[in-house]
Structure 1
């Protein structure tokens, strides 16, 4: 503290917490649905990695990525969703991860068909809205107007990889779940690939395919 220029009065000493002692400070976490909402909106990779480790603590008593991945696989099996082919982290930043579109579609279907009081419902509220919120606020500006406001989706981007998974409401009012993935994208084509995914999602919102 002194090295940082903070005046220190008295001497620090070790003490035991006394019954009835006044707390110096305390911090409470935001409720889990709010955390999920925020991490989906802004693609907070650190938050997703921390949550994965909490899954590991809850399911296996160990706050590690490996325990978290095992816990996620267990939940997915219980929901009848195909587990990832290979998952090494919660942030999605590892290039060794391999997740099929069927897994993302399965998760979205499970969320969309869950009971109104199910914790899974937090995912729907957190998905960015095309042209309005989060990581989609500045996208969908060159697509059919039907998509704006009627597509909610999570982005996924690494160098050479772009994906979009979410829910679109078609012109008959039917919700459709989708997962779009593209890889081996040349760096010069990054924005074009992203725009192509937006157009594909917009086509679902503009269709009468239900």
Structure 2
């Protein structure tokens, strides 16, 4: 069972999310939070596998709550956003969010996203990925926040996998492009995350964008 904590300040939206999650036989909703502070407190108490986190909440916003949950190793975080909240995306990714979904995501896609994050794959909704790439493309060239020399530790194949992550590709997509087994892709992802000292493949995708690879 995948144990999920739902953090959403709008009660009607929260009820809808809970209803969808409880429709799956392999997902258990272990708690509900109406604000960021409560989300962190419940994550400490309940130790869920995943927190489904809204970004705009009272008392403590979703980005700050994500940072605390990830820093304490309490759970993976799957963030809910809308096109109007792009300014939160980068902050939450750098805080260690394992993925991003839009609030208008279909029920079946929400369930598959929860399962994907629980498998350690991470996920960014395709529409959000396109926005991220467009955002990077629109920005003037600047000094990367990370020293490009960190890539020296990666093998050629690991760099190729990192580049694919930067495009928001799944393990299956990467396996198809690079002509390798999906299990091999997972191994490469795991190794490059360790070498780059990153918490998730989503952070790797952001790093790939920042370094222009």
| TM-score for the superposition, normalised by structure 2 | 0.28
Q: Which of structures 1 and 2 has the bigger CA Rg? A: 1
TM-score normalised to structure 1 length: 0.28
